[in-house]
């Protein structure tokens, strides 16, 4: 049984239809890259899978681990092991990063009928992950993402992922705004989390990230549909000939940047 | 409307749990206010002649005053002749001599409110003075405190038993002519607490007064006076609740604090008067004058308040920093939800040299609530080297509420430093979604954010009250405190 099965997924925001029938199957342990020009619906797909209520699902089904994903509240999806690394991580002033992550981990552990961790156990657990992501410990005591640089925010997302150990990780343009050193660090974190029980959907505009996180499958999204799927070589082909080489228009570039 | 917004509203619309009425026979005087009524109140309290004279003088002055209108609050005119100015639970004797004589119905009431009046019970480290409508019904640990020379008990009793101390300090910080509501209070004040901590004594336990309004259509006019003599320290807390009624009730209190050389007073409030229902019907009108005088050198007065109740709050706990190097602090969380209106803040008057003051105000607005911070910092010419730091933050839940800030700064000494910081933020859908995506429910996310917003103030509360205050805001204790 696949971990995730998307069939004919349609989604709208307001009056506008963004996803126009997505089909995608992700098995345990696979890494799928979703590529596509701006406005193709990549981020919408990531957000819909996480349960963002800004979007209305107007058709199709999503089965996750045998369950109807679309019927689940966002927090239940998270507790069942779905993690979204945000393109724009949100700032939460006044709530310490460490406290936030401990609260998240404990609600997930509780859901899985595991004992909740106290402060000491939690610190033991995160120590190795801090090293993995080369996180400065001061970031843990600061408010969630508040005043973090772009790179620090993205690193913090992957750090959270390392602590929460999801079964399905969705990375939404995790490479955007990162310089090459930060990109390598983030990719290293992601790669160390790859395993036979963990699947990933990596959403990106650029091939560059896929040099470091090498996917098993690549899908090209355009105008709300997957127009081409292939192995990792498809990303390289895109790199050479661009989206235009596949006859795809960049929706935003076509009408000029909004 | 999205689900998150709904839950934010549910969070803001929690039921008032303290709204029950105690069925107890009440001894009340007729409605209305005149010199005869004041004489009656004074007689019921068996007051000496000088106290009655003081009341009458205040009353005559009050007649010449008009209700202030400068605050950012709106309410229909109050009919001062339609209020009952004195109500007391009827007892067979003059007043209970010991806890064993307190009416069991009253003990049950306080038990229900979580304020046990048995000295062996949960709040063993806290001495409690319980004020029910217009009278103090019990004070715990009196004898033990007296052994150290600490006088703590009802104000009425202090007038009879310690007239010299009362005469010396009453009205010395808030004169009876100070403002409309203070003058009214001075004329008709019922009961409250009196505390005197002698030279060099560190009060060994928290002192606390629990105010309960029970009778219908009555006003509560409490009067509290706390004096810390040279080198003394006292931490005092007050809590308040009232039944749910659909008519408004008036609460106009006066609190005076006096700190002499090297003395410290820490005054904490968790104000949870009935706020009215979700449509704004009923609730307490809370017009309170609180002021502390740092008379001595190196003295310190610290106000901490968590204001979650009342339909209207009009309250500015202030400090007169007279002694050189004296310190004034004000930490406040004020919540206005549904149709509540809060206009609250502080005044810090720097008179002595090197005086410092800190103001941290956190306003939370939800529903149709309107929350106003009004703060004054005044540095007089004499206050060489004075410093003030003010921080004033507002948090909005939903889009029908309001936050307003009116800081007044008046600096007459060029060697002083004054800093003011302010921020306004809103709990956003994106913050809630971020939390939910990590597995945290909307309700816990809102609690977490609100708690994070208030923690600088909660930190200032004594432990027992910090717990109470956090529960009040629907926040679990396990948190980012510390």
> What are the structural domains, with CATH classification, of chain A?
4-92+149-257 (3.40.50.300)
Q: Is residue B426 part of a domain?
A: yes
- Judged by average pLDDT, the poorest of B44-53, B198-207, B268-277 is B268-277
Q: Is residue B246 part of a domain?
A: yes
Separation CA B316–CA B291 (nearest Å): 8
Residues of B in contact with A93 (CB under 8 A): 425, 452-453
User: Residue B366: which pLDDT band, with cuts at 50, 70 and 90?
Assistant: confident
Q: Is residue B234 part of a domain?
A: yes
**Among residues B266, B234, B230, which one has the least CA distance to residue B150?**
B234
Q: Which of A50, A53, A74 to mutate to test the interface with B (most CBs of B within 10 A)?
A: A74
Contact by Cβ (8 Å): B302, B268: no
β A82-85/A168-172 pair status: parallel
**Sheet-wide strand order for A56-64:** A16-26, A4-13, A56-64, A67-68
pLDDT digits (tens, 9 = 90+) for A147-175: 999 989 999 999 999 999 999 999 999 99
Q: Can you give the three-state secondary structure of B178-225, one letter per residue?
A: CCHHHHHHHHHCCCCEEEEECCCCECCCEEEEEEECCCCCECECCEEE
pLDDT at B481 over 60: no
User: Residue B477: which pLDDT band, with cuts at 50, 70 and 90?
Assistant: very low
Query: Number of CB pairs < 8 Å for A and B?
Result: 82
Contacts of B361 (CB under 8 A, 6+ apart): B330, B331, B332, B334, B345, B346, B373, B375, B390, B391, B392, B393
Three-state DSSP at A108 gives helix
pLDDT at A56 over 70: yes
Question: Residue B21 pairs with which residues in a beta bridge?
Answer: none
Model pLDDT, residue B321: 98
User: Residue B413: which pLDDT band, with cuts at 50, 70 and 90?
Assistant: very high
In chain A, pLDDT over 90 holds for what percent of residues? 75
Min distance B175 CA to chain A CA atoms (Å): 40
Rg, C-alpha atoms of chain A: 18
Contact between chains at B439 and A79 (C-beta distance less than 8 A): yes
Residue A142, chain B, CB below 8 Å: the answer is no
Contact by Cβ (8 Å): B213, B244: no
Contact between chains at B439 and A108 (C-beta distance less than 8 A): yes
User: Residue B419: which pLDDT band, with cuts at 50, 70 and 90?
Assistant: very high
Separation CA B341–CA B368 (nearest Å): 9
Q: Which of A52, A91, A94 to mutate to test the interface with B (most CBs of B within 10 A)?
A: A94
Residues of B in contact with A79 (CB under 8 A): 439
pLDDT digits (tens, 9 = 90+) for B47-99: 999 999 999 999 999 999 999 999 999 999 999 999 989 888 776 445 555 66
Number of domains in chain B: 1
Higher pLDDT, A249 or B14: A249
pLDDT at A90 over 90: yes
Q: Is residue B24 part of a domain?
A: yes
Model pLDDT, residue B101: 66
Q: Is residue B268 part of a domain?
A: yes
Q: What is the ipTM of this complex?
A: 0.95
Min distance B71 CA to chain A CA atoms (Å): 30
DSSP state at residue B364: E
Long-range contacts of A242-248, Cβ-Cβ distance < 8 Å, separation of 24 or more: A243/A36, A243/A37, A246/A220, A246/A222, A248/A36, A248/A37, A248/A40, A248/A220, A248/A222
| DSSP labels, A180-195 | HHHHHHHHHHHHHT-B
Model pLDDT, residue A18: 96
Residues of B in contact with A96 (CB under 8 A): 452, 480
Separation CA B257–CA B440 (nearest Å): 44
User: Residue B451: which pLDDT band, with cuts at 50, 70 and 90?
Assistant: confident
- Judged by average pLDDT, the poorest of B111-120, B366-375, B463-472 is B111-120
B243: containing domain: 2-477
Output the six-digit token pair for B446: 């809102």
Contacts of B366 (CB under 8 A, 6+ apart): B8, B9, B11, B12, B335, B336, B337, B338, B396, B397, B398, B401
Q: Is residue B171 part of a domain?
A: yes
Q: Which of A73, A75, A78 to mutate to test the interface with B (most CBs of B within 10 A)?
A: A75
Q: Please, is B312 exposed, middle or buried when counting C-beta atoms within 10 Å of its C-beta (0-12, 13-18, 19+)? A: buried
Q: Is residue B42 part of a domain?
A: yes
- Judged by average pLDDT, the poorest of A31-35, B17-21, B51-55 is B17-21
pLDDT at B123 over 50: no
Min distance B459 CA to chain A CA atoms (Å): 13
Size of chain A in residues: 258
Contacts of B392 (CB under 8 A, 6+ apart): B359, B360, B361, B363, B373, B375, B405, B407, B420, B421, B422, B423
In chain A, pLDDT over 70 holds for what percent of residues? 96
Contact by Cβ (8 Å): B86, B44: yes
pLDDT at B268 over 60: yes
Mean pLDDT, to the nearest integer, of B452-473? Answer: 77
Q: Is residue B482 part of a domain?
A: no
Three-state DSSP at B135 gives strand
pLDDT digits (tens, 9 = 90+) for A189-229: 999 999 999 999 999 988 889 999 999 999 999 999 999 99
pLDDT at A256 over 70: no
Sheet strands (E) in B308-458: 312-315, 318-321, 327-336, 341-350, 356-366, 370-379, 387-397, 402-411, 417-426
Query: Which of A205-219, B12-26, B136-150, B241-255 tops mean pLDDT?
Result: A205-219
β B151-154/B193-197 pair status: antiparallel
């Amino acid at each position: 049984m696949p971990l995730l099965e998307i069939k004919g997924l349609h989604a709208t925001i307001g009056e506008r239809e963004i996803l126009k029938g997505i089909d995608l199957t992700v098995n345990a342990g696979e890494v799928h890259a979703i590529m596509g020009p701006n406005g193709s619906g990549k981020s919408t797909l990531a957000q819909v899978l996480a349960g963002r209520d800004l979007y209305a699902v107007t058709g199709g089904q999503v089965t996750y681990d045998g369950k109807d994903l679309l019927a689940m509240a966002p927090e239940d999806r998270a507790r069942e092991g779905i993690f979204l690394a945000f393109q724009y991580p949100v700032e939460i002033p006044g709530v310490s990063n460490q406290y936030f992550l401990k609260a998240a981990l404990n609600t997930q552990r509780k859901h899985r009928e595991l004992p909740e961790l106290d402060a000491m156990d939690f610190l033991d657990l995160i120590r190795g992950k801090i090293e993995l992501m080369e996180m400065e410990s001061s970031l843990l005591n600061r408010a969630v993402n508040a005043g973090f640089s772009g790179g620090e925010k993205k690193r913090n997302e992957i750090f959270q992922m390392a602590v929460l150990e999801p079964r399905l990780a969705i990375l939404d343009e995790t490479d955007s705004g990162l310089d090459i050193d930060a990109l390598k660090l983030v990719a290293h974190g992601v790669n160390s989390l790859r395993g036979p029980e963990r699947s990933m959907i990596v959403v990106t505009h650029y091939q560059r990230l896929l040099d470091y996180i090498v996917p098993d499958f690549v899908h090209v999204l355009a105008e709300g549909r997957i127009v081409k799927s292939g192995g990792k070589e498809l990303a390289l082909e895109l790199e050479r000939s661009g989206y235009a080489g596949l006859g795809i228009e960049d929706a935003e570039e076509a009408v000029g940047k909004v | 409307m999205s689900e998150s917004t709904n839950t934010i509203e549910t969070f803001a619309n929690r039921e008032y749990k303290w709204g029950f009425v105690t069925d107890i026979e009440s001894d009340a005087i007729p409605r209305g206010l005149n010199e005869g009524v004041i004489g009656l109140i004074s007689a019921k309290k068996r007051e000496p002649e000088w106290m009655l004279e003081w009341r009458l003088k205040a009353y005559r002055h009050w007649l010449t005053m008009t209700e202030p209108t400068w605050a950012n609050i709106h309410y229909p005119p109050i009919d001062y002749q339609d209020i009952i100015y004195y109500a007391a639970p009827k007892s067979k004797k003059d007043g209970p001599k010991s806890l064993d004589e307190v009416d069991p119905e009253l003990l049950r009431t306080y038990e229900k409110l979580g304020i046990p009046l048995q000295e062996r019970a949960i709040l063993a480290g806290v001495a409690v003075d319980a004020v029910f409508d217009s009278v103090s019904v019990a004070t715990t640990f009196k004898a033990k405190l007296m052994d150290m020379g600490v006088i703590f008990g009802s104000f009425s009793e202090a007038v009879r038993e310690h007239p010299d101390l009362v005469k010396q300090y009453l009205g010395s910080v808030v004169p009876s002519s100070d403002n409309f509501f203070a003058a009214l209070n001075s004329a008709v004040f019922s009961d409250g607490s009196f505390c005197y901590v002698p030279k060099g004594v560190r009060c060994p336990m928290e002192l606390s007064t629990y105010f309960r309004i029970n009778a219908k259509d009555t006003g509560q006019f409490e009067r509290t006076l706390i004096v810390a003599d040279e080198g003394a320290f006292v931490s005092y807390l007050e809590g308040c609740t009232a039944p749910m009624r659909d008519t408004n009730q008036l609460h106009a209190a006066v609190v005076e604090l006096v700190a002499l050389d090297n003395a410290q007073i820490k005054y904490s409030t968790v104000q949870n008067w009935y706020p009215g229902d979700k449509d704004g019907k009923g609730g307490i009108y809370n017009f309170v004058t609180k002021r502390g005088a740092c008379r001595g050198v190196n003295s310190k007065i610290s106000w901490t308040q968590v204001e979650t109740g009342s339909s209207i709050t009009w309250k500015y706990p202030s400090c007169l920093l007279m002694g050189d190097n004296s310190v004034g602090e004000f930490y406040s969380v004020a919540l206005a939800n549904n149709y509540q209106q809060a206009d609250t803040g502080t005044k810090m008057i720097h008179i002595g040299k090197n005086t410092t003051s800190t103001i941290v105000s956190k306003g939370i607005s939800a529903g149709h609530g309107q929350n106003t911070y009004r703060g004054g910092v005044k540095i007089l010419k004499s206050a060489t080297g004075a410093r003030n730091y003010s921080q004033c933050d507002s948090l909005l839940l939903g889009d029908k509420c309001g936050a307003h800030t009116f800081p007044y700064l008046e600096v007459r000494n060029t060697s002083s430093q004054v800093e003011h910081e302010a921020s306004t933020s809103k709990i956003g859908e994106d913050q809630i979604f971020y939390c939910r995506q990590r597995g945290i429910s909307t309700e816990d996310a809102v609690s977490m954010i609100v708690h994070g917003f208030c923690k600088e103030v909660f930190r200032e509360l004594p432990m027992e009250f910090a717990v109470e205050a956090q529960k009040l805001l629907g926040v679990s204790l396990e948190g980012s405190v510390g």
